[in-house]
Amino acid sequence: MKIAGTTNIGNRRSENQDKYVAGRLLNTVSFGFVCDGMGGVNGGAVASGILAKYIEDALFLHNESPAFNQEKTVLGAIEDANMAIYNMGNKKPEYHGMGTTVAGVVVDGDQCTVYHAGDSRVYIVRDGKLALITKDHSVVQELIDQNRLAPEEAYTHPQRNLITRAVGVSPQIQVDIAELEVAEGDILLCATDGLTNFVSSSDIVEILTTDNVFAMADKLVDKALQNQSTDNITAVVLAI
């Protein structure tokens, strides 16, 4: 397993509210998560930072246990972070309403668990083909599901930045979970919308199939910057 990640403030923002965590655990488990914060001055960065730290700390704390259960560990970390962010938002007016997306994977051998809330995404590239594993929790995705909006119109829709689910905005959080088998040669990508809204599927495939693994995340971010991304940009790549 090879892992690479990077984040960039982007062309337009004064602060980077994205965070990512990635690594390998002692029990052969590998992981990668991206978090895209939102809300108030500094609130988004605080929320995404809390969530990223809770996930990373929980995985490294529990991975040596003989009874290690990665799904229970990750969901517990997200739920604990959700309450911490929510409580902080209620106590400090400047953080009221802050929250963060989460999109990430935990890989153990040929088994991959995907975690997701919000509009950050997880993709897999297999045999040169790109597949989106997650489904956005967003207003435009709901309109697409209702056949009221064509997928290609989502990128310019005035409500394209409105999400319907995020960590920290309410006392409870629902996290979508997907399970899939992975094989040697597969490449997983976790990315925030500052990347996915500005880099085409064909460019993602080209970068993830032709570049050195440790350059892939940087190349994806560079492409988003070239395409004038208006948001923070974050990518984590895991090559099986």
Inter-CA distances, 122 with 33, 62, 126, 186, 237, Å: 9, 24, 13, 13, 10
* Domains of the chain from N-terminus onward: 14-239 (3.60.40.10)
- Of 134, 132, 136, nearest in space to 145 by CA: 136
- Band (pLDDT 50/70/90 cuts) for residue 27 is confident
Phi/psi for 5 (5° steps) reads: -145, 155
Whether 57 has a pLDDT exceeding 90, the answer reads yes
What integer pLDDT is reported at residue 145 of this predicted model? Answer: 79
Whether 37 has a pLDDT exceeding 80, the answer reads yes
Whether 89 has a pLDDT exceeding 80, the answer reads yes
Q: Are 198 and 228 in contact (CB under 8 A)?
A: yes
What is the average pLDDT score of the chain? 93
